[in-house]
Structure 1
Amino acid sequence: MSEKIEHLSSWIRTLDVETESPIEGMIVGKIPEWLEGSLIRNGSGMFEIGETKMNHLFDGLSVMHRFAINGYGEGKSTYQNRILQSDTYKQAKAANRLTMHQFGTFAFPDPCQSLWGRFMARFEPVTKTEKTDNCCVSVCYLGDKLYAFTETPQIRQVDAETLETVGEKCNISELVAVNHSTAHPHVLEDGTVYNMGNSVGSKGPIYNIIEFPTGAGALEGAKIVASFPSRWKMSHSYYHSFGITENYFVFLEFPLILNTAKLLAMNLRQKAVDSSLDWFPTEKTRILLVERKSGELVDTIYEAPPFFCFHHGNCYEKNGYIIMDISHCKDATIFAGLSLKSLRENRGDFTNTYYTRFVLPLGVEPPIGNDFQDCKNLVEVEGSKCKSYWQSNKIIFCEHERLLEQSLELPRINYSRNGKEYRYVYGISQLDGYAEPEKILKLDLNTREVKQWAKAGFSPSEPVYVSRPESIEEDDGVLLFSAVDQVNPKKVLLIILNAATFKEEAVVEYVASGIITKDFHGIFSRKGDVVHGY
């Protein structure tokens, strides 16, 4: 039991002392000479501030991490971390308590307010409450600037060399009419970035595709290129990511509703954002396609049994189908499983996310008449176990195929294959029982062969793929990921793993000034590159 508790506790460590100046690591092995750049990662790193203890893994205040890598000669690598200087962090530090609501933690009215002021604050709609700029989920370049992202429209610029927070926060809702944006944009080869966000208008809740053009004016040039309605008149689906192919945006509308009425009454109810989520197991998940060229929603609706997912792996078009691969959860119980209470009690939910595939037929006509009982499977793909068949004149019902027996979350690919046919996916897998640390997996989607990496006593982060210059093969490169020591909280490793063989090319060990915390997502910026994809 002690091993389980020790393992899970690494997820909820709180940074005590920043490692502001880069510290050099001790290298075992050889860093590839061609590998030069920075692995920058972001995640929840402070679960306590003053009088406040956070309730959920998504609530921790953002801590940025940077591994600078230079393989030239004998090789060298340094590590540093910094707290994101968000308004959320600075105000909480000044007040000695959380002052802005987070996903699972409610910020109570200022105790220094008058009794009347605190009473009236309960009746203030949440729309008047400033949205958090605790951008603790991911990082992405917009033009030539690096930004930290979360699930509100607030983003923060970060210096890619020093990790210092640059300037004031940027509110995307002041650039385009959205009140939410995801932390998982898509970056095209020319540097154009697409993201998604919600809005509410005269026709009810709307989903929007946002385009940020390439170049220095990426933010100022933001525009909405597609909008389509929620199926619910007063609420919209909660979503964390979306897919893209050569010709389509791919959106999953889960029966996990962010209830607008509950959200507006958050202050009155004194409950956090997660209390506004409603799961409807009797409703189906919808897969909606939007044409990239026209911005129009495809008439055909694809439906599936109810499920949820945080992360798309990849989507692509082939022979008249869209292939959609995702990390698939059977329901929304994962949110409760990621509460700090569950993690402390060894009930964290890391094991029930599986890599699955849907095959969506394009341009097919429904059968003549209204008899849909004996409709044939529309998926005619060799070796595929996926099924899709007409359920009505507008709806195709889809059944997925599980691609891997083990769990797989935080899926990453060779990003040059994003939106295109691909062969390999990498991710984290956790066994039931938590007696062993997480494993890094590589799944060959053609052969279903699995390679894995694990190191006793260490908990790894999401892997990031980096191609060798002028490579041709899809796995001709390395995986980069960190791994925190489960016993010594000041120790972290940088693992450089050969993506083809899954053998360690180099392991770099650092001992920091203070506690090193876990993170969610990261990006590698190669020295000399103008565009930095995932």
Structure 2
Amino acid sequence: MQAIIARNGLETSEPVKAEVKGSIPSWLKGTLLRNGPGLFSVGNSEYNHWFDGLSLIHSFTFDNEEVTYRSKFLKSETYKRNIKADRIVVSEFGTMVYPDPCKNIFARAMTHFRNIIPDFTDNNLINIIRYGQDWYASSEVNYINQIDPHTLETVGRVNYRNHIALNLATAHPHYDKEGNTYNMGTAIIGLGGPKYVIFKVPAADSDKDSKKPALRKVQQICSVPFRSTLYPSYFHSFGMTKNYFVFVEQSFKLDIVKLATAYFRGVNWGSCLKFDKKDSTFFQVINIKTGKATSICYHADALVVFHHINAYEDDGHLVFDIIAYKDANLYDMFYLHNMTKETDNFINANKDFSPPVCQRYVLPLNIQKDSPKGTNLVTLTDTTAQAVMQEDGSIYCKPDTIFEGMELPGINYNFNARKHRYFYGSRLEWSPHPNKIAKVDIVNKTHIEWEQKNCYPSEPVFVASPEAVEEDDGVILSSIISSDPSISPFLLILNAKTFEEIARASIPVPVHMDLHGLFIPGMVK
């Protein structure tokens, strides 16, 4: 695995047919889109971090019980500038570069300080998101790149700031059944001071309307001021229930001054994120209809969170599940000099790594001011999570631990914002390379796994069966690569109930490890 993790990926511009073993369900029709880093060197220059690699987008299309595959590099402005120069000329998360090495220190400073916040790369390598009927490759910056989901061609770049005042935005939005998209971003510079912003992009309401960018109708739902002006919380995702948004204002923070001066000081943007283990974590609960944040102060011990699993309301409580860490060492693990170490050396170098833990927090919504101090206000009987009234009227929250050692979580998205029983994810066992995928039963606190020697799965994606009623009635899709040259990359299809393999589609061309993506039902060509 170490030999292939940082190799440059290859485009497969035209669709190629996979060799199918087993039986693909006849109802499975659509396209699985995947995104992730795929180009780690340009000319003689190399990136430092796995999250820096140039975006390579993949598609697996299911039709007539067959699978076709194709892949293309995202033709972002970053990609085009690097390829034209035949070297890396645009800085990324873990790699700071200077396009003109002859610039003196004062010229570098003046160039960078024209804007307090730098203009980031548009290398959108994290996820695929939908606004209206438009599909975008996304990361966490103000730029997103529209793509054609059929051909994977890059349509063009969009700047959030042309539609809403944002400097950063997540690559993990939420969708409702009406086709609306909800997302969250950070406005560092703008009227009203620095704040977190939650916004809605309405669904396209007609064929004519669908030909215009959906983002032009973006609506700001609410804004929440930074708790600390110069140290906003980092966030990668957020939670959403029927009536509320929940935002984890965590102890993993962005240093605005360091970010603004990173280029001048010759350090990468990744070094501007710092974990404050002495700080508390705060849970912001915002009413979707009114846009108002609750006045109740919910807080917990310091933690780091990247991925929410799900959130829902239950008998006067807001329940949400996250993958939590005790520190921020996860990002350091993905520096390429760590990822390319042999397994034993990697373990020895990362003995203090905080493993991912699935934790459930429960926030009572109807709190009386005269509630006894020191009392646990959680009345649900199916959790050990606590919310304890403090002397100052705040609520100290302690989580219920559900599962350890899993990342890249997913659910049956039909149960998003609803009470769920199952989630799926990639198993991490002392390695940045997941070697198993698993299904967790939250009620029984049991799990089942799929694994194959020398095989490394991507994030599992659940696709529900037609007319499904039970939560786990469907299939799991995962793209698999192998360090064994005798095993071709393949798309794995599992029965979501039993986790038994029902089919695999071997791809006759190289496939690169990815990060996130989604399934577009019915989209075939």
Find the aligned partners of 1:463 and 1:120 in 2 and give their Cα distance: 47
Candidates 415, 439, 449, aligned match of 2:436: 439
* 1:523 CA drift (Å): 0.6
SS in 1 for 2:277: coil
Q: Does 1:356 align with 2:359?
A: yes
- Residue 384 of structure 2 is matched in structure 1 by 385
Find the aligned partners of 1:245 and 1:473 in 2 and give their Cα distance: 20
Deviates more, 1:95-104 or 1:485-494: 485-494
SS in 1 for 2:12: coil
String of CA shifts for 1:414-451, please: whole Å, max 9, x gaps: 001111111110001122368x9621110111112211
The residue identity in structure 1 corresponding to 2:171 is A
Find the aligned partners of 2:282 and 2:418 in 1 and give their Cα distance: 22
Distance 1:178 1:392, change over 3 A: farther
Q: Does 1:270 align with 2:258?
A: no
* 1:356 CA drift (Å): 1.1
- Residue 120 of structure 1 is matched in structure 2 by 107
Q: How does 1:114-513 map to 2 (within 5 A)?
A: 115-116=103-104, 119-123=106-110, 124-125=112-113, 127=116, 129-166=118-155, 168-200=156-188, 201=190, 203-215=192-204, 216=210, 217-345=213-341, 346=343, 347=346, 352-367=355-370, 372=373, 375-404=374-403, 406-432=404-430, 438-488=435-485, 491-512=488-509
- Residue 21 of structure 1 is matched in structure 2 by 14
Q: Retained in 2: the 8 A contact 1:437–1:455?
A: no
* 1:137 CA drift (Å): 0.1
Q: Retained in 1: the 8 A contact 2:117–2:259?
A: no
String of CA shifts for 1:499-532, please: whole Å, max 9, x gaps: 01111111110121xx421100011111169xxx
Q: Does 1:35 align with 2:28?
A: yes
- Residue 532 of structure 1 is matched in structure 2 by none
* 1:129 CA drift (Å): 4.2
Q: Retained in 2: the 8 A contact 1:99–1:107?
A: yes
Distance 1:84 1:296, change over 3 A: same
Q: Retained in 2: the 8 A contact 1:204–1:234?
A: no
* 1:487 CA drift (Å): 2.8
Q: Retained in 2: the 8 A contact 1:443–1:449?
A: yes
Higher RCO (Cα < 8 Å, 6 or more apart): 1
SS in 2 for 1:511: coil
Distance 1:516 1:231, change over 3 A: same
Q: TM-score if structure 1 supplies the norm length?
A: 0.91
Candidates 47, 54, 61, aligned match of 1:61: 54
Distance 1:22 1:30, change over 3 A: same
Q: Retained in 1: the 8 A contact 2:460–2:478?
A: yes
* 1:203 CA drift (Å): 4.9
Structure 1: 5+ residue runs without aligned partners?
Answer: 1-5, 530-534
* 1:351 CA drift (Å): 7.2
Distance 1:403 1:303, change over 3 A: same
SS in 2 for 1:456: coil
Deviates more, 1:45-54 or 1:28-37: 45-54
The residue identity in structure 1 corresponding to 2:462 is Y
Find the aligned partners of 2:443 and 2:468 in 1 and give their Cα distance: 20
Find the aligned partners of 2:447 and 2:471 in 1 and give their Cα distance: 16
Structure 2: 5+ residue runs without aligned partners?
Answer: 205-209
String of CA shifts for 1:396-417, please: whole Å, max 9, x gaps: 100111102x411011000011
Find the aligned partners of 2:162 and 2:269 in 1 and give their Cα distance: 22
The residue identity in structure 2 corresponding to 1:214 is A
* 1:492 CA drift (Å): 1.2
SS in 2 for 1:274: helix
The residue identity in structure 1 corresponding to 2:27 is W
String of CA shifts for 1:27-60, please: whole Å, max 9, x gaps: 1100000001111100011111123211112111
String of CA shifts for 1:452-501, please: whole Å, max 9, x gaps: 11111210000110011111111110011110121339931101111011
Find the aligned partners of 2:3 and 2:388 in 1 and give their Cα distance: 46
Distance 1:9 1:385, change over 3 A: farther
Distance 1:10 1:69, change over 3 A: same
Q: Retained in 2: the 8 A contact 1:42–1:65?
A: yes
* 1:161 CA drift (Å): 1.1
Q: Retained in 1: the 8 A contact 2:412–2:464?
A: yes
* 1:181 CA drift (Å): 0.4
Alignment RMSD (CA, Å): 2.0
* 1:393 CA drift (Å): 3.8
Distance 1:485 1:433, change over 3 A: closer
Distance 1:220 1:433, change over 3 A: closer
Distance 1:115 1:250, change over 3 A: closer
Find the aligned partners of 1:451 and 1:397 in 2 and give their Cα distance: 33
Q: Percent identity?
A: 35
The residue identity in structure 1 corresponding to 2:66 is K
SS in 1 for 2:217: coil
* Count of paired positions: 507
Find the aligned partners of 2:431 and 2:133 in 1 and give their Cα distance: 44
Find the aligned partners of 2:437 and 2:431 in 1 and give their Cα distance: 17
